[in-house]
Chains A and B, each alone.
Chain A
């Protein structure tokens, strides 16, 4: 098994180091109604610097996949490495930052102290905590809000704080679970553009979960289409649109072509199910 993995990596000519490597992964939840196959035989390779989106209908296991990468869920079969080590080792190494569906900011901490929270846990000295938090708050365009409390900010601003919080300890990998799902479309478009700029600036590997086709096509270098019950990968689409993108891109034929392929993949997954 290990040998086989080694050979695939070496045989791929253009591959950088693999940040996430998933082989035949499956996960079954035991419930009182019997087992639920959340993931089945998932194979997936994510290279450094990729922006990968999981897309699929609700319940297709895309969030579960992300949680397995983050070691918040244990797979029941198969093999997975994150940053070359097991997910739990990667978690203890603090090699990923996780952005949840809701901002999950702690209401008793002001914005600055919310961003310094992971640094406190990781034992970074106080002065450096503050300068780093300020730097990343500036990166998400939130200078001047350090003393505010989370509930005094809009939903979009809160989610930007949570992105700054995930970035401030400089993890290799950024995991985002429908981070803009609860926001209206105008704010969402704006944040998508900001996220792309951020990705360009930091060069992080991003794994992004969404159920919006335009969002996935606009952001990603690679789109993974999933289908539900059991959660499977039904298509992996390399998105060759130029890296420097603006919202206008969404009107171009190239964009629509990729979006069309995603939509077809999703449709195929559904007809299989019903």
Chain B
């Protein structure tokens, strides 16, 4: 293993020798040396793995500097790619070492659980940057992350306006209304048996409606501004909530129900004290599914008529103007907003359904 780690690294050093010495190489060689040296000593322990990852991080800086200063951009040769490959192996070993880290200290473990995906994500972005710049990929096909980041930082005001229009208005309003209505109807369906036979199949029908067909109609009904997008979100989120809550309300066990019956408990105490808590994992499932569906729905709905603000509007117009970096900036914004939203819902789930077998180990 150690040899496997060391070989590509020294290969990288050898590749350096082939090329004509440039001013950046001396700067990078020591970093590579550190990697190799650590590799020889065995980067298996978590601490050593951490140092290795740090060294790689410095190494990636070198690669980025090389891309910028040496005009390697678009003309990177085998030595450069070998170096990237060596970094790859090193980062693999490093992350692997960290991922294996197990601690009884909950905080340390939690930190490590954060570091691993973060390091991995950063590495992917680095690869993306290196490949797009190194091969000189046309920016219309795939802009480099640095370009996207530049554009993101440079147009914060536009992004904020889009975010407010699409997310804070349409998504939140639609999400709350859709999930709320789905929940209320589910409780009704559960209470009134004929609804279960009559309404549930109809709900199925609604969920099968294609969003691109519904969106223009909603725009006609509710106008160009955010209410029509909220309506699309309501249609998208209603059904997952309905189905999951109905299933969840049936999830309480026979024994637990008999217990409530033996206390002479009526419908409401049974609902509040037994069936809703038992349904919570299902309800949160729907909330999580809907948190991503809602954003998709609102963005797509904006393709069908909107005031000149909004994430979907921006994407559709900037694609037409070949401003792909702006499109990517919006995508990044959507990803950020979507995963934050999802994360908040997941956090709420963890707090309220701590008792569920899937969370018990963490207490």
A98 pairs with B264, CB closer than 8 A: no
Q: How many angstroms from the CA of A121 to the CA of B267 in the assembled complex?
A: 11
B356 pairs with A107, CB closer than 8 A: yes
- Interface size of B as a range: 20 to 34
Chain A CB within 8 A of B256 CB: yes
Against A, the Cβ 8 Å flags (1 = close, 0 = not) of B249-273 are 0000101101111111100010001
A104 pairs with B355, CB closer than 8 A: no
B261 pairs with A72, CB closer than 8 A: yes
Q: Decide: A121 near B269, CB < 8 A? Known: A72-B262, A92-B264, A94-B263.
A: yes
B261 pairs with A151, CB closer than 8 A: no
B264 pairs with A91, CB closer than 8 A: yes
Q: How many angstroms from the CA of A99 to the CA of B289 in the assembled complex?
A: 39
Nearest B residue to A95 via CB reads B264
Chain B CB within 8 A of A117 CB: yes
The residues of B that contact A44 with a CB separation of less than 8 Å are none
Contact partner of B255 among A100, A118, A122, CB < 8 A? A100
Chain A CB within 8 A of B277 CB: yes
Dominant SS among interface residues on chain B: helix
Contact partner of B262 among A91, A108, A120, CB < 8 A? A91
B261 pairs with A120, CB closer than 8 A: no
Chain A CB within 8 A of B360 CB: yes
Q: Decide: A121 near B273, CB < 8 A? Known: A100-B255, A104-B256, A151-B360.
A: yes
Chain A CB within 8 A of B293 CB: no
B261 pairs with A91, CB closer than 8 A: yes
Nearest A residue to B261 via CB reads A72
The residues of A that contact B260 with a CB separation of less than 8 Å are 121
The residues of B that contact A96 with a CB separation of less than 8 Å are 262
Chain B CB within 8 A of A68 CB: no
The residues of B that contact A117 with a CB separation of less than 8 Å are 263, 273
Chain B CB within 8 A of A106 CB: yes
Kindly provide the distance from the CB of B248 to the nearest chain A CB, expressed in whole angstroms: 13
Chain B CB within 8 A of A102 CB: yes
Chain A CB within 8 A of B119 CB: no
Nearest B residue to A88 via CB reads B264
Nearest B residue to A122 via CB reads B263
The residues of A that contact B15 with a CB separation of less than 8 Å are none
Q: How many angstroms from the CA of A118 to the CA of B260 in the assembled complex?
A: 8
Kindly provide the distance from the CB of A129 to the nearest chain B CB, expressed in whole angstroms: 13
The residues of A that contact B357 with a CB separation of less than 8 Å are 151
Against A, the Cβ 8 Å flags (1 = close, 0 = not) of B321-363 are 0000000000000000000000000000000010111001000
| A interface with B by C-beta (< 8 Å) | 70-72, 91-94, 96-98, 100-102, 104, 106-108, 117-118, 120-122, 149, 151
21 A-B residue pairs with CB within 8 Å: A91-B261, A91-B262, A91-B264, A92-B264, A98-B258, A98-B259, A100-B259, A102-B255, A104-B253, A104-B258, A104-B259, A106-B277, A108-B355, A120-B273, A121-B260, A121-B263, A121-B264, A121-B265, A121-B269, A151-B355, A151-B360
